[in-house]
Amino acid sequence: MTDYSFDTQQVHAGAEPDPATGARQVPIYQTTAYVFKDADHAARLFGLQEVGYIYSRLTNPTISALAARVAALEGGVGAVCCSSGHAAQIMALFPLMGPGLNIVASTRLYGGTITQFSQTMKRFGWSCTFVDFDDVAAIEAAVDDNTRAIFCESISNPGGYVTDLDAVGAVAAKVGLPLIVDNTLASPYLCNPIQHGATLVVHSATKYLTGNGTVTGGVIIDSGTFDWSASGKFPSLSAPEPAYHGLCFHQALGAMAFTFHSIAVGLRDLGMTMNPQGAHYTLMGIETLSLRMQKHVANATAVAKWLEADPRIEAVTYAGLESSPWHDRVARICPKGAGALFTVAVKGGYEACVKLVNDLKLFSHVANLGDARSLIIHPASTTHRQLTEEQQIKAGAAPNMVRLSIGIEDAADLIADLDQALSAATA
pLDDT per residue over 78-88, tens digit each? 999 999 999 99
Q: What is the pLDDT of residue 2?
A: 67
Q: Is 249 helix (H, G, I), strand (E, B) or coil?
A: helix
List Cβ neighbours of 146 (8 Å cut-off, separation of 6 or more).
Answer: 100, 101, 102
List Cβ neighbours of 420 (8 Å cut-off, separation of 6 or more).
Answer: 359, 361
Whether residues 152 and 293 fall in one domain: no
Q: How far apart are CA 141 and CA 122, in angstroms?
A: 22
List Cβ neighbours of 278 (8 Å cut-off, separation of 6 or more).
Answer: 205, 215, 216, 217
CB 327 within 8 A of CB 155: no
Full strand arrangement of the beta sheet holding 218-222:
78-82, 218-222, 200-204, 179-182, 147-153, 102-106, 127-131
From first to last of its 427 residues, what are the pLDDT tens digits of the chain? 668 999 999 999 999 888 888 899 999 999 999 999 999 999 999 988 899 999 999 999 999 999 999 999 999 999 999 999 999 999 999 999 999 999 999 999 988 899 999 999 999 999 999 999 999 999 999 999 999 999 999 999 988 999 999 999 999 999 999 999 999 999 999 999 999 999 999 999 999 999 999 999 999 999 999 999 999 999 999 999 999 989 999 999 999 999 999 999 999 999 999 999 999 999 999 999 999 999 999 999 999 999 999 999 999 999 999 999 999 999 999 999 999 999 999 999 889 999 999 999 999 999 999 999 999 999 888 877 777 888 777 777 788 999 999 999 999 999 999 999 999 988 8
Whether residues 118 and 222 fall in one domain: yes
Q: What range does the domain containing 99 cover?
A: 6-285
Whether residues 328 and 224 fall in one domain: no
Whether residues 38 and 141 fall in one domain: yes
Q: Is 80 helix (H, G, I), strand (E, B) or coil?
A: strand
Total domains in the fold of the chain: 2
CATH number where 90 lies: 3.40.640.10
Q: What is the pLDDT of residue 380?
A: 83
Whether residues 14 and 75 fall in one domain: yes
Query: Closest Cα to residue 334, out of 299, 293, 365?
Result: 293
Q: How far apart are CA 341 and CA 419, in angstroms?
A: 18
Whether residues 73 and 53 fall in one domain: yes
* Helical segments of 75-110, H only: 85-93
Whether residues 19 and 131 fall in one domain: yes
Whether residues 222 and 319 fall in one domain: no
CB neighbours of residue 195 within 10 Å: 14
Whether residues 22 and 155 fall in one domain: yes
Q: How far apart are CA 322 and CA 213, in angstroms?
A: 31
Q: Last residue of a domain, which of 227, 257, 285?
A: 285
Q: What is the pLDDT of residue 1?
A: 61
Q: What is the pLDDT of residue 111?
A: 84
Tell me the whole-structure pTM to 2 decimals: 0.95
Q: How far apart are CA 170 and CA 179, in angstroms?
A: 10
- Most distant CA atoms of the chain, gap in Å: 75
Whether residues 270 and 300 fall in one domain: no
Q: Last residue of a domain, which of 265, 285, 305?
A: 285
For residue 1, tell me if it sits in a domain: no
Q: Last residue of a domain, which of 285, 319, 346?
A: 285
Q: How far apart are CA 57 and CA 94, in angstroms?
A: 17
For residue 302, tell me if it sits in a domain: yes
pLDDT digits (tens, 9 = 90+) for 36-73: 999 999 999 998 889 999 999 999 999 999 999 999 99
* Helical segments of 75-186, H only: 85-93, 111-118, 136-142, 165-175
